[in-house]
Structure 1
Amino acid sequence: MRFVRTAGGSAKKPRPRAQFNLRGRLMLVGGALALCAVALVVRAVDLQLVDNAFYQKKADARFLREVPIPTSRGMITDRNGEPLAVSSPVESLWANPQELANNPAAVARLAEATDLPVDYLSRYVSQRKGKEFMYVPRHRRINPAVAQKILALRIPGVFSQREFRRFYPQGEAVAHVLGFTNVDDQGQEGVELAFDEWLSGTPGAQKVIRDRHGRIVEHVDLIRPSEPGNDLVLSIDRRIQFLAYRELKRTLLETGAASGSVVILDVATGEVLAMANLPSYNNNKVSGENRDAYRNRAVTDLLEPGSTMKPLTVAAALEAGVITPATQFNTSPGWIANGRYRTSDFKNYGVLDTTGIITKSSNVGVSKIVKLLPDREFDAFLRRFGYGASTGSGFPGEAAGIFPTPDSWFGTTKQTLSYGYGISVTPLQIARAYATLGNGGRAVTPTFVKGGHSGESQQVLDPRVAAEVMRMMQTVTEPGGTATRAAILGYHVAGKTGTARKSAGGGYSRRYIAYFAGLVPVERPRFAVTVVVNDPDPSAGGSTYGGGYVSAPLFARVMEGALRLMDVPPDDIETWLAAQAAEEAKRAKAQASAAPRATVSGAAARAVQ
């Protein structure tokens, strides 16, 4: 032991050093670790058992999502099962704005991949940086191959989802009937709108887990399966529809007309077999331009029907018993007073019987007939044929027409009504009225659905009177009538031309609407057709503006094809056989005249040799 000497010379004994206690320290550290372990166990029990629901909800809010399962819209087909509207799977690009907003390089890469201006996309993203979802502009419902090409670049925050897009194989030929859907696959026009609830499917839903980048890493649960929409079978025959569209387009090009419509109904069922309009549009690529072309003129446009009204005026008088088909009327001198104006015929036809009034389309004659009818009786008759009310087809935007009541009639209102002025109707209403005549006076509601006829119909005219009017209208398409260009070889055709002046500024202009309404075959009518050609140019191709010259040939071309396509047997065999015999005689004569020339040519050849 060492002693330390102090300054006073005395020595101080040193304090002994404490011994190191390893065991105690180990116990202290072990106890601390045990307390920490107990704390962790308690916390785990709290998280897993006590507050499990609360923390699970917090975790789910970050990573668990309920996402929709897209479903396809029901297919629309024609009466023969040919597709008119189908839904095809497509991809829609979407992005997380929060992730893109903090990554200018990713925005620039996305802009380059999508051909979008960088400044535009940057503004678009920054305006939505508080959200977690946005569709990439102009890249919703795009070709899956294009979407996959962009996704292959692995741009942060950019993803895609499956959707469906509507496709219309027939394009503008059937556009006005079908209409179109919007970007959310909801019907906007036509049949797509009228039957939107039927065609729309029910989207499904499922729970998924997304990672922090928004990618789906696990499918957790199926909440409900998706249900596709119901298919719809229309009454439209695709072949007849295209035929009507093609011939209408040809007529408008030949006549320089502004627009036109063709409506074809099945006489017995009221089914719309074709409804074509021009101008048209491509419903595969709908834009905000030229909205006027989207209008289905056959059901929305109101027109004064002109002389197509005359058969109904005659039918009203026949039903009332004030005339017979043989009753005669003196139409000289070719005009009749109409207030301050005149109602004139094309020329002075002299004395005509009732049938002749229809054959020659005499305004004077029908004006004299309608004078024999009481106002309210004539009004009620026309309303029974559907004028002044919607046809009930269910087509969106269908017009009811304008038909003043007798209380508002004055002066010569009834006279002008008798030949189709002072009343406004749609082409579909005209077709329905003529179908009623061809159906033995029984009116059927038009329908765009195959088999959509409920079986309910209303007898609005005595069948005997309807048959008499049909025979009168048959003379219109025969020699001496105003619509010989509507004749169809092998079939009797009943019809009526119409040439109505267009109203303008309280009066009438020198512009016209050319009509032809007809039924074929007469013996057992199958088709009721209305052709409307609006504002034909008389100088175009040397044509005129009359219904017999403009609309009647269109009717004949369309019906020749339709009768063949629907395998309708002819009802005028005699005329067909006579035409065949004449053709064979002509061919034989041509062959006979060619034979001597061949002999002379052979002799000349031998002489040269």
Structure 2
Amino acid sequence: MTAKRKPKKNNVKLAPPVLVSRWRFYFVCGVMACMGLALVAQLAWLQVLPNTDRGADFLRKAGEDRTVRSELIPGYRGVISDRNGDPLAVSTPLVTISLDPQLITSEHKQLADLARLADMNLGELKAKLDRYRNHSYMSFATRMPPDQAARIKALKIAGLYYQTEYRRFYPSGEVSAQLLGVTDIYDQGQEALELAYNEWLTGSSGRKTVVKDEKGNVIREVGITEAASPGKNLALAIDLRLQYMAYRELKTAVTQQRAESGSIVVLDAHTNEVLALVNAPSFNPNDRTGLKPEELSEAMRNRAIVDQMEPGSTIKPFSIMAALEKGIVGKDSIVDTSPGSLYVGGKTFVDPVNYGPISVTKIITKSSQVGTTKLALRTGPTSIRDMYYRVGLGQAMGTGFPGESGGLLPQYHRWPDVTTANYAFGYGFTTSVLQLAQAYSVIANDGIRKPVSLLRVEHNPAGERVLSAELAEEMKSMLATVTNKGGTGHRAHLDHYSTAGKSGTAHLPRKGGGGYADDRYRSLFAGFAPLDDPRIVVVVVISEPKTGKYYGGEVAAPVFGRVTDAALRLLEVPPEIEPVATQVAEVRR
């Protein structure tokens, strides 16, 4: 019989129970109670007792962090106006809108209304929102008209943010574009007078404190922390009426002559203020989207101030004045131009016909190359160059216009006869259209040279006498024969006003270099009116006409006549000459 096995005893000993001391239990309970009391006290301090400084400051700061914002107050750019106060460049307020794609998603219930008011495609807007889903900022609309932005703001959509900006607007459009220039997207000047006077025109921005609701809408303005300062206004010398008229005539002439370009300058003969300065072709500064960068750069170039040119026969009065001043000849002295040509230094200078023995005045009237050359060789190059320099050629005019051309007036150590001859009738040196107008203003102003001003002047500048009044008066009478019957500029003759001036036709260099082209010309006419007391100086330049006509007397003189006649009427200058019909009626009586 098998004996039963007795179970083995478990020898594992259990640890005696740990006895926690009573004081430790009470200590833990006390700490927990104190923490609860401290929390209650802090809540009471912040909420029940808000008048305490600490509680008020905390709540105020917490509230301001959520509702109070600082906003920019843009300082608008100064207005550019003409001499009569008509605006030429103004800054108009526009609104740029951005949004938070995390608050405005592609499923937003008002998204269709938002797209409609912003003139946007709903599908494209949804796609853009999906692309920016993980961003907190997205540009929505830039430079929107304020009334359109107000309709969007009326939707009261949370997550839309509005910023007022300014955009430059030019009421005269292409008429004054190259004179005024343009600004960039930040309303800073980039070209022409906008650039030259950028610091003067630019305002300084300020800041204001506002209270906004949870949707970003301004519910209260707290105050201005920094005041904005507007830019200073700028009054130009130009008369917008003359500017429009001159541009119309120039654009018509360039189109009719199929010319590459053209420029007209109108100066006040008394003050040398620029009453009109136009170029064609031009561009619309309010909409430059259709122009490529290189096209825009070309269109913005102010040819009348920046470009250099050889003035051709319009310079002859000054080389002949050098001869008159030196006492070599008088205005009635006879110069033999037979046989109508003159060989000088390997080059033959030719007149259209053989004028034979003619007076110095008739050399001007007929623009004789032979007569001018003979006088120049007798006068000498130093005296001729000195005359040019005294009337303002070869030096900056000081208008402040960016890129202003001072021209090029070389001074040679040795003067070959052919160089002297070329100098005498407008080759071998360069000037600008505006500089040529300044030179003619010296004759119109009885020998006094005054600075040219693009800005309106309050007082007539004294100027500097560079010619005797007698010499200037002699040249006036000689130039008057050019616009009368038989003169090369007779097409510049006016029915009601006496005029004086000089035509010019300059060959242009070949585009590839290597001398002058046989089919490229520049047509010019420069003069002033009325003769006895000149009120305006006008210079007209038409470059590369392609109708078969290219002489200055054919192309530029008629434009001079129309511009001068209209300008004198707009300036209310009384007519000097009675209409022919009135004279006939008086005789019949």
Q: Tell me the TM-score range normalised by the shorter chain.
A: 0.7 to 0.9
Quote how far apart the aligned CAs of 1:508 are. Answer: 0.8
d(CA) in 2 for partners of 1:417, 1:64: 73
1:70 pairs with one of 70, 74, 92: 74
What is residue 171 of structure 2 aligned with on the other side? 169
CA contact (8 A) 1:111 1:118 kept: no
Secondary structure in 2 matching 1:371: helix
What is residue 320 of structure 1 aligned with on the other side? 326
Question: What is the 5 A alignment of 1:221-240?
Answer: 221-240=223-242
d(CA) in 1 for partners of 2:357, 2:322: 21
Q: Deviations over 1:332-384 (max 9, x none)?
A: 22222243332222222111221111000011111111112333332222111
What is residue 561 of structure 2 aligned with on the other side? 556
CA contact (8 A) 1:262 1:530 kept: yes
Q: Deviations over 1:244-299 (max 9, x none)?
A: 11111221222111111110000110111111111011122133432112111111
Q: Cα distance 1:579–1:331, how it changes in 2: closer, same or farther (>3 A)?
A: farther
What is residue 439 of structure 2 aligned with on the other side? 433
Alignment of 1:380 onto 2:386: yes
Q: Cα distance 1:220–1:128, how it changes in 2: closer, same or farther (>3 A)?
A: farther
Alignment of 1:207 onto 2:209: yes
Alignment of 1:38 onto 2:47: no
Letter of the 1:246 counterpart:
R
Q: Deviations over 1:280-328 (max 9, x none)?
A: 1112213343211211111111111000010010111212222211222
Q: Cα distance 1:412–1:97, how it changes in 2: closer, same or farther (>3 A)?
A: farther
What is residue 16 of structure 1 aligned with on the other side? none
What is residue 508 of structure 2 aligned with on the other side? 502
d(CA) in 2 for partners of 1:128, 1:190: 44
Q: Cα distance 1:125–1:375, how it changes in 2: closer, same or farther (>3 A)?
A: farther
Give the number of aligned pairs. Answer: 550
Unaligned segments of structure 1, at least 5 residues: 1-26, 589-609
What is residue 19 of structure 1 aligned with on the other side? none
TM-score, reference length from structure 2 = 0.84
Q: Cα distance 1:105–1:363, how it changes in 2: closer, same or farther (>3 A)?
A: farther
d(CA) in 1 for partners of 2:410, 2:208: 58
Secondary structure in 2 matching 1:476: coil
Q: Cα distance 1:121–1:387, how it changes in 2: closer, same or farther (>3 A)?
A: farther
d(CA) in 1 for partners of 2:453, 2:393: 17
d(CA) in 1 for partners of 2:168, 2:515: 45
What is residue 525 of structure 1 aligned with on the other side? 534
2:88 pairs with one of 71, 84, 87: 84
Task: State which drifts further: 190-199 or 120-129.
Answer: 120-129
d(CA) in 1 for partners of 2:487, 2:550: 17
Quote how far apart the aligned CAs of 1:455 are. Answer: 2.0
CA contact (8 A) 1:271 1:452 kept: no
Aligned-residue identity in percent: 39
Question: What is the 5 A alignment of 1:297-336?
Answer: 297-336=303-342
Task: State which drifts further: 225-234 or 480-489.
Answer: 225-234
Letter of the 1:377 counterpart:
S
Secondary structure in 2 matching 1:530: strand
What is residue 181 of structure 1 aligned with on the other side? 183
Alignment of 1:415 onto 2:421: yes
d(CA) in 1 for partners of 2:451, 2:41: 83
What is residue 582 of structure 2 aligned with on the other side? 580
Secondary structure in 2 matching 1:417: helix
d(CA) in 2 for partners of 1:124, 1:413: 72
TM-score, reference length from structure 1 = 0.82
2:349 pairs with one of 329, 334, 343: 343
Secondary structure in 1 matching 2:413: helix
Letter of the 1:404 counterpart:
P
Letter of the 1:165 counterpart:
R
Q: Deviations over 1:196-252 (max 9, x none)?
A: 222222322112344554443442331122233333222111111111111112212
Quote how far apart the aligned CAs of 1:536 are. Answer: 0.8
2:477 pairs with one of 467, 471, 475: 471
Q: Deviations over 1:540-598 (max 9, x none)?
A: xxxx2111111111111111111111121334x3xx36552347889x9xxxxxxxxxx
Q: Cα distance 1:36–1:155, how it changes in 2: closer, same or farther (>3 A)?
A: closer
What is residue 522 of structure 2 aligned with on the other side? 513
CA contact (8 A) 2:45 2:52 kept: no
Task: State which drifts further: 280-289 or 435-444.
Answer: 280-289
Q: Cα distance 1:31–1:482, how it changes in 2: closer, same or farther (>3 A)?
A: closer
d(CA) in 2 for partners of 1:318, 1:90: 62
Q: Cα distance 1:134–1:302, how it changes in 2: closer, same or farther (>3 A)?
A: farther
What is residue 369 of structure 2 aligned with on the other side? 363
What is residue 575 of structure 2 aligned with on the other side? 570
Q: Cα distance 1:227–1:397, how it changes in 2: closer, same or farther (>3 A)?
A: same
d(CA) in 1 for partners of 2:559, 2:82: 23
Letter of the 2:171 counterpart:
P
Quote how far apart the aligned CAs of 1:155 are. Answer: 4.9
What is residue 192 of structure 1 aligned with on the other side? 194
CA contact (8 A) 1:497 1:548 kept: yes
Secondary structure in 2 matching 1:406: coil
Q: Cα distance 1:498–1:167, how it changes in 2: closer, same or farther (>3 A)?
A: same
d(CA) in 2 for partners of 1:58, 1:410: 88
d(CA) in 1 for partners of 2:404, 2:101: 45
CA contact (8 A) 2:158 2:214 kept: no
Secondary structure in 2 matching 1:359: helix
CA contact (8 A) 2:312 2:425 kept: yes
Unaligned segments of structure 2, at least 5 residues: 1-29
Q: Cα distance 1:340–1:121, how it changes in 2: closer, same or farther (>3 A)?
A: farther
Letter of the 2:514 counterpart:
G
CA contact (8 A) 1:97 1:134 kept: yes
d(CA) in 2 for partners of 1:554, 1:517: 11
